[in-house]
Amino acid sequence: MAIHPIVVCGEPVLHAPAAPVESFDAQLGELVSDMRETLAASNGVGLAAPQIGVGRRIFVFDADDDEAGVHRSGVFVNPILVATRVPEGRPDPDDDSEGCLSVPGLDFPLKRAHRVTVNGRDEAGEPVSLTVEGWFARIMQHEFDHLQGTLYVDRLEGKWAKRWKKAKAELGYGEPGESWLPGTDPDPFGH
Answer yes or no: is 100 a known binding residue. Answer: yes
Answer yes or no: is 9 a known binding residue. Answer: no
Q: What angle do CA 96, 99, 100 make, to 5 degrees?
A: 145
Query: Catalytic: 11?
Result: no
Residue tagged active-site, from 143, 157, 175, 178: 143
DSSP summary character for residue 177: T
Amino acid 98 reads E
Question: Quick one: three-class SS letters along 111-173?
Answer: CCCCEEEEEEECCCCCEEEEEEEHHHHHHHHHHHHHHHCCCHHHHCCHHHHHHHHHHHHHHCC
Task: Return all residues near 136 (Cβ < 8 A) that are at least 6 apart.
Answer: 63, 65, 66, 67, 68, 72
Answer yes or no: is 142 a known binding residue. Answer: yes
Annotated binding-site ranges for Fe cation: 100, 142, 146
What positions carry a catalytic annotation?
Answer: 143
Which residues line the annotated binding site? 100, 142, 146
